[in-house]
Amino acid sequence: MRHALLVALLFAVVTATAFGQKVEVEEFTLPNGMQFLLVPRSDQPNVVSAGWIARVGSVNERPGITGISHFFEHMMFKGTDTIGTREPGRDSKYRAEQKAIRDEINRLVWTRQYDRYFKGEIDDPWNPANDPQELRVLRARLDALIKAQQGRGEAGPEAGTIVKDEFDQVYTKAGGSGMNAFTTYDLTCYFITVPSNKLELWAWMESDRLHDSVFREFYSERDVVHEERRLRTDSTPTGKFEEQFDAMFWASCGYAWPVIGWPSDLNSYTFEQAQDYWNIYYRPTNLVGILVGDFDPARAKRLITNYFSRLEPGKQPPPPVVTLEVEQLAEQRMNAAGDFPPSIEVRYHTVPAGHVDSYPLDMLAEVLNDRTGRLYRSLVEGRSIAATAQASSDTRKYAGMFAVSAQTRGDATPEQLEKAWLEELAKLQSEDLSDRELRKIKNRVAAQNYRKLESNMSLFVQLAFSEAVLDWREINEGPAKYEAVTAADIRRVVNRYFKETNRSVASFRRRAD
């Protein structure tokens, strides 16, 4: 839901134990295989940031079901036979009737409408405006059933079986706050802050939805996700271009498609596909619960054991992600024109999180960033050709990239920005950082990440990313690895990865009137 905002916290994994402070984590695993990480602390009295992660993200998908991990994020808030409905039996009947109609809609679209699309008779097989009469009738029947289930049909509210947003209401009435979730390329995370005396409620609520999610509103929620996609991608000036750049940059691995998925896949998910996905990725051995805050560990473990032990182990383990990103052999370029300020992004393939080279690459991003960083001093202050300039080291679970981006100032052009970056790059490739510059960067990183330990929720998110991408122990072991980075290490990785043949460039220009 807000995963785009939270993904930035991934870099907090760098030095979550800055200044020598260790995060004390108690780990235990239930007989069904579900792991839990407990961090009791009294910095924020009487509250606990609680949640769990599923080790699944868009990288685990495939063409045909892209975006299904994010779609599950939505489904998990729709309730169970206990939460979210006033009449489970009739609600189940509504769902079965909707499934039968939607299956027939899919069959007709995949055969007749796709065939018409391939022949050039229509421009979009999923657009209702292109429907023959048979499909219009089926869509109308499905829409009527959805409205009836929601209490918006002709029979009136009393005929509906859904209690809207009951999951959120139960938590809110008990003093819970900040309930949300996010999906990234490598994980899905669900979280909330609850009063310490409501920890049992949390254990029951979360184990209930993991034990008995019914995928309520499985068909109508697609419209919500489509709207999210329109707001996040289609309606933004550069959204579709950024998707295209991603698809061009990642040639073979599962990072090529957007987390929210391609529109045709979002339209196509079947209930059977969702059930299969659930049984693989939402079973105990692929889940990790996390508690950070003011609680008694012994009591928490009793509650967790009592409620989460009812989850059944999966019969099929998650398959390994085996398709590696192929080596890029030639420079790639994308030239985009639209209603946006001129800008540029330059990318390089690098390494996954935890790779020995990931640490100097992360430190390099810090060398370039901030108002005292090299990009700002050179492109913004020195040459006055950029309004903004930044770098990022994005090391994911299975691959990584380094990106430099900047927006023009005045009459400057994307070509000038690229030329300026390449000149800065040449300096990095030929000269070691001074001891003073490297020390300044290390101190700043340590201070930033130490401050991120102050909030229960911030630490929760760091634990979630660390455990999903590497191991939660990286929070305690990472600082020494960053402190050990030398100027020679940074110069080495710059020369190894920042080559012309490993470069992809996106230039954004304002379209002429």
Inter-residue contact 188 to 182 (CB < 8 Å): yes
pLDDT of 513: 65
What residues does 338 pair with on adjacent strands? Answer: 510
Inter-residue contact 96 to 84 (CB < 8 Å): no
What phi and psi, each to the nearest 5 degrees, are found at residue 508? Answer: -115, 120
Q: pLDDT tens across 201-250, in order?
A: 999 999 999 999 999 999 999 999 999 999 999 999 999 999 999 999 99
For the stretch 172-203, what's the b/e string if a residue is b when 16 or more beta carbons lie within 10 angstroms of its beta carbon?
A: eeeebeebbbbbbbbbbbbbbbbbbebbbbbb
Which of helix, strand or coil describes residue 436? Answer: helix
Q: Which of 476, 498, 255 is nearest to 368 (CA)?
A: 498
Confidence of residue 159 (pLDDT cuts 50, 70, 90): confident
**SS3 of 84-140:** CECCHHHHHHHHHHHHHHHHHHHHHHHHHHHHHHHCCCCCCCCCHHHCCHHHHHHHH
What whole-number distance in Å separates Cα of residue 32 and Cα of residue 506? 48
The fold of the 3-84+164-308 domain, in CATH, is Cytochrome Bc1 Complex; Chain A, domain 1 (3.30.830)
Q: pLDDT tens across 65-78, in order?
A: 999 999 999 999 99
For the stretch 245-261, what's the b/e string if a residue is b when 16 or more beta carbons lie within 10 angstroms of its beta carbon?
A: bbeebbeebbbbbbbbb
Superfamily of chain region 332-510: Metalloenzyme, LuxS/M16 peptidase-like (3.30.830.10)
pTM for the model stands at 0.92
| pLDDT greater than 50 at residue 9 | no
Pairing of strands 386-395, 400-408: antiparallel
Q: pLDDT tens across 300-330, in order?
A: 999 999 999 999 998 999 999 999 999 999 9
| pLDDT greater than 90 at residue 19 | no
Do domains 3-84+164-308 and 332-510 share one topology? The answer is: yes
What residues does 51 pair with on adjacent strands? Answer: 191, 290
Confidence of residue 446 (pLDDT cuts 50, 70, 90): confident
Number of H helices, E strands in the chain: 19, 11
Q: Which of 323, 59, 354, 353 is nearest to 186 (CA)?
A: 59
Domain boundaries, the chain: 3-84+164-308, 85-162, 332-510
Calculate the alpha carbon distances from 509 to 44, 249, 334, 407, 413 in Å: 48, 19, 11, 10, 8
Confidence of residue 6 (pLDDT cuts 50, 70, 90): very low
| pLDDT greater than 70 at residue 415 | yes
- How high is the mean pLDDT of the chain? 93
Q: pLDDT tens across 94-140, in order?
A: 999 999 999 999 999 999 999 999 999 999 999 999 999 999 999 99
pLDDT of 20: 56
